[in-house]
Structure 1
Amino acid sequence: MTEPLPPRVADLTGYDILLSLARLGSIGAAARAHGISQPAASARIRQLEAQLGVPLVERTARGSNLTERGGLVVDWARPVIAAAADLEAGIAALRDEHDTHLRVAASLTVAEYLLPGWLLRLRARHPDTAVALVSANSSGVIEAVQSGSVELGFVEGRSVPSGLRSRTVARDELVLVVAPGHPWARRRGVEGARLAATPLVTRERGSGTREVLAGALRAGGAGALAEPLLELSSTTAIKSSVAAGAGPAVLSARTVAGELQAGTLVRVPVPGVDLTRPLRAIWPAGQTPRGPARDLLAIAERER
């Protein structure tokens, strides 16, 4: 088992300054090399002498010279300081490699309608960064962030589990849509209780859209969602099924804007039910997004 570093060598700064003194010939020159004042360099050497219990530097009117014991300490410290420099260089290389790869997970609405623009702007800042994007429902994104397989996630919903930090990066609205021939297409609105009791064409369990809808209906006193008419894994499949007359669906307004404009789907108001939702960036608690992940988060927030 590896033992903790002894107190006399736990801090290498004094040894590093001593090596600079031996190389450059004066405490003043050593201080300049380390970007500190001469009194600060002298204080670090005196502290090192106190820790070791032996004089390391002989101070005279003509300057400072290593004592015999100081020379021995310098010889012993030289490979240690070199190893520390190698360690720092290796860590820097790891950081550089980390900053050239970004792993992101996003729910379908964010992945299809928001992330492409965000990533285009990120590319302008980090042209050498390769982005790996995983598209999943909100539950899948949360699992990916919790497991550490991605550095940053984007989900749809009003809350996130403990152990994760979140930040709202956009707002979204869910809308009830039907085919033009559906009886609801001619109504001025559908009450929440009736919507809750109606089997819908919907996403699978774990979808942020489905969870937000269920929560909004409960909050509005409409009761629990009925069992789905169809459960489909993609927004495109849901839109096609609704347009073909399968039944109503509740989807992000972003995803049906084209169909509403073309008239292949019709929006039906749901008075008294708040169907707005935040779109959130999530990452592990206790960590801070850095490098490209930090910049992607900033881009998303700026375009909120």
Structure 2
Amino acid sequence: MMADEQGEVPFRLLEMFGAMMRYGSTVEAAESLGLSQPAVSIGIRQLEKQIGVTLFERLHRRLHPTEEALQLYEEVRPMFNLMRDFSLRAQAIRQGVSGRLRILSTPPLGHTIAPVALRELLRHRPDVSVSYDVRRLGEVIEAVQNGSADIGLALALEQHPAVNVEVLSRTHMVCLVPTGSALAEKAEISAQDLAATGFIGLEADSRIGQIIRTAFERDLASYNPRVEVRYCSTAAVLANADVAPAIVDPYSARFHASASVIERPFLPPSEITAVMLTRRGVPRSRLLHSFIAALRAAC
């Protein structure tokens, strides 16, 4: 609605007009808008002057809308509904009970901790939608850096020049031993034990592979795996197939737990960190804060 020679009508005046039409008195309209009664009266007079139309007439000590006011209100009523919906939506987003979250994770956390945290996040948030995927570490970092993911999850990454890295938990590598293996009776499995019987190793150019090689060096054991793979999940699958014992992160061990393998501590202790990645210089939404809290609880 435009004023004839005065330019656009300020939305605040339209709000006063809408409140007057809904409540029928300046007192109630003022209360609904958080204004004083005189401010509403002045605003209505200003609006009438600006559009050149009488909107209310005083009859029996009450203001009654004119026929012109009724016509104009029908025109602008959808706008008030739209603004009310906008305000409610903004409030829901601000409180973290509505919105969209984009999550990327490497497989170990994407198949274990992250689903638990996601379940808790969505339990009482029916208006939240999520984009969720499991990718390689390089893709996770790139997505967080360019803003196509709100949060990334990974293992064994203490820092990175392109993204924020925060530790969620610190734990240790474990050994998955096939139930038929000679090592199944041992309470702990050492690098020396595996060097003597054969094992599934991880490629040296992977971060976790480097952690395992360092453990063998500390134990003065020969690192000569019978099978070498890229991912802990692959090593766990082979251990379940009774190929050989496998050294894996505890998250992959949990995901691939079965009656075919026994999980044992791996010696020497080899720390592994679970981390979250976020974009630098971007404030976190209330929804993202809620998911991070659920992640920490799941860890």
Alpha-carbon contact 2:253-2:263 (below 8 Å) kept: no
Matched residue, 2:220 = none
**Structure-2 separation of matches of 1:35 and 1:236:** 59
Deviations along 1:102-135, whole A, 9 cap, x unmatched? 5422122212231232233335324686655311
Matched residue, 2:105 = 106
Q: Check if 1:252 corresponds to 2:249.
A: yes
Within-5 A mapping of 1:218-257:
232-239=229-236, 244=243, 251-256=248-253
The one-letter code sitting in structure 1 at the alignment partner of 2:285 is P
Alpha-carbon contact 2:190-2:267 (below 8 Å) kept: no
Deviation at 1:11, TM superposition (A): 4.4
Alpha-carbon contact 1:26-1:63 (below 8 Å) kept: no
Matched residue, 1:302 = 297
Matched residue, 1:221 = none
Alpha-carbon contact 2:109-2:251 (below 8 Å) kept: no
10 and 252 in structure 1: CA distance in 2 versus 1, 3 angstrom threshold: farther
**Structure-1 separation of matches of 2:30 and 2:41:** 8
The alignment's C-alpha RMSD in Å is 5.5
266 and 64 in structure 1: CA distance in 2 versus 1, 3 angstrom threshold: closer
Deviation at 1:12, TM superposition (A): 0.7
210 and 161 in structure 1: CA distance in 2 versus 1, 3 angstrom threshold: farther
Within-5 A mapping of 1:87-236:
89=85, 99=98, 102-126=101-125, 132-156=131-155, 157-162=157-162, 167-168=166-167, 170-175=168-173, 184-186=191-193, 201-202=202-203, 209=208, 213=211, 232-236=229-233
**Structure-1 separation of matches of 2:271 and 2:124:** 35
Deviation at 1:17, TM superposition (A): 0.3
**Structure-1 separation of matches of 2:83 and 2:226:** 60
The one-letter code sitting in structure 1 at the alignment partner of 2:234 is A
Deviations along 1:48-87, whole A, 9 cap, x unmatched? 689x599989999x86869x9xx98997686356335336
Deviation at 1:171, TM superposition (A): 0.9
TM-score by length of 2: 0.57
**Structure-2 separation of matches of 1:229 and 1:13:** 75
**Structure-1 separation of matches of 2:192 and 2:176:** 6
**Structure-1 separation of matches of 2:35 and 2:226:** 72
The unaligned stretches of length 5 or more in structure 1 are 1-6, 188-199, 218-225
39 and 33 in structure 1: CA distance in 2 versus 1, 3 angstrom threshold: same
**Structure-2 separation of matches of 1:47 and 1:234:** 71
72 and 165 in structure 1: CA distance in 2 versus 1, 3 angstrom threshold: farther
TM-score by length of 1: 0.56
The one-letter code sitting in structure 2 at the alignment partner of 1:34 is L
Report SS of the residue matched to 1:85: helix
Deviation at 1:153, TM superposition (A): 2.6
**Structure-2 separation of matches of 1:104 and 1:49:** 52
**Structure-1 separation of matches of 2:108 and 2:280:** 22
The unaligned stretches of length 5 or more in structure 2 are 1-5, 184-188, 195-200, 215-222
**Structure-1 separation of matches of 2:61 and 2:238:** 88
Q: Equivalent pairs: percent with the same residue?
A: 16
91 and 74 in structure 1: CA distance in 2 versus 1, 3 angstrom threshold: same
Deviation at 1:184, TM superposition (A): 3.8
**Structure-2 separation of matches of 1:141 and 1:159:** 14
Report SS of the residue matched to 2:203: strand
**Structure-2 separation of matches of 1:100 and 1:276:** 33
**Structure-1 separation of matches of 2:275 and 2:229:** 21
**Structure-2 separation of matches of 1:63 and 1:166:** 67
**Structure-1 separation of matches of 2:154 and 2:9:** 44
48 and 138 in structure 1: CA distance in 2 versus 1, 3 angstrom threshold: farther
